[in-house]
Amino acid sequence: MPVSKLRVLSFGLTIDGYGAGPSQDIKNPLGVGGESLLAWAVATRTFRMLHGASGGDETGIDEEFAARGFRNIGAWIIGRNMFSPVRGPWPNFGWKGWWGDNPPFHCDVFVVTHFPRPPLQMEGGTTFYFETEGIESTLQKATQAADGKDVRLGGGVSLVRQYLMAGLVDEIHLAIVPTLIGTGESLLSGIDLVKMGYRCVEYVPSPKVVHMVLRR
């Protein structure tokens, strides 16, 4: 049976190293100025199809990388902030994510949180599980759910940093956007990727971003 890998894919990063802007809230899910991090992906056919829209760029470098981000993915791990703008204990279970009744995952999604909540089954094969036992326990469950396919690690920045520092990430695809935001959440500050064994195995510029793939 193939061995599952934990992969960070299509992760937008500014020139000054931020993976999210400041002051994240329901109006600014990626923080103030953070919308620029996904502009390249939003224009692709893959992104639009997964979000129930038509059109988008059908070919090109950005479309190729966006499509790759969903191939051979059997489960996702995301942080509480990626699932919800709510902080602290759940006031109720009415919030069901940013993506409507049919989220674009179409597999099991494990949400790392400090506050328990019952599993949430959605249309299209997505079920959210809320995990309170830490990142390693969550990875074990996600790997089992992936059944030989890879596990995709989504945001936010804090969660990716936790998995990186624990030495659990096998591959990172960064989309470097030509933007400076000056402040926000830094992805790689204080993390020595060279010492951890990462090397750049792909470097592909597009008109909108530079795609970089790092692998151990």
Tens-place pLDDT, residues 18-62:
999 988 888 888 888 888 999 999 999 999 888 777 777 678 999
Structural domain contains residue 82: yes
Residue 95 above 70 pLDDT?
yes
CA distances for 169 relative to 16, 26, 143, 180, 196, angstroms: 22, 29, 13, 26, 10
CA distance 118 to 115: 10
pLDDT > 90 fraction of the chain, expressed in percent and rounded = 80
User: What number is the average pLDDT over the span 58-78?
Assistant: 95
**Domain containing residue 202: CATH number:** 3.40.430.10
- Tokens representing 113 are 């949180």
Rounded CA-CA distance 73/110 in Å is 13
Residue 64 has pLDDT above 70, yes or no: yes
Query: Which residues face 186 on adjacent strands?
Result: 18
Name residue 119's amino acid: P
Question: For 34, what's the count of Cα atoms within 13 Å in the CB-facing half-sphere?
Answer: 23
Assess whether pLDDT exceeds 80 at residue 172. yes
Return the higher-pLDDT residue of 27 and 14.
14
Range of the domain at 31: 6-215
Inform me whether the pLDDT recorded for 127 exceeds 70. Answer: yes
- Of 4-13, 44-53, 105-114, 184-193, the least confident: 44-53
DSSP 61-126: HHHHHHHHTTTTEEEEEEEHHHH-S--SS-S-S----SS-SS-S--SEEEEE-SS----EE-GGG-
Q: What is the mean pLDDT of residues 2-24?
A: 93
* Amino acid present at 42: V
pLDDT at 1: 60
Residue 1 lies in a domain: no
Domains of the chain: total: 1
Q: Is residue 146 part of a domain?
A: yes
Asked whether residue 97 is domain-assigned, the answer is: yes
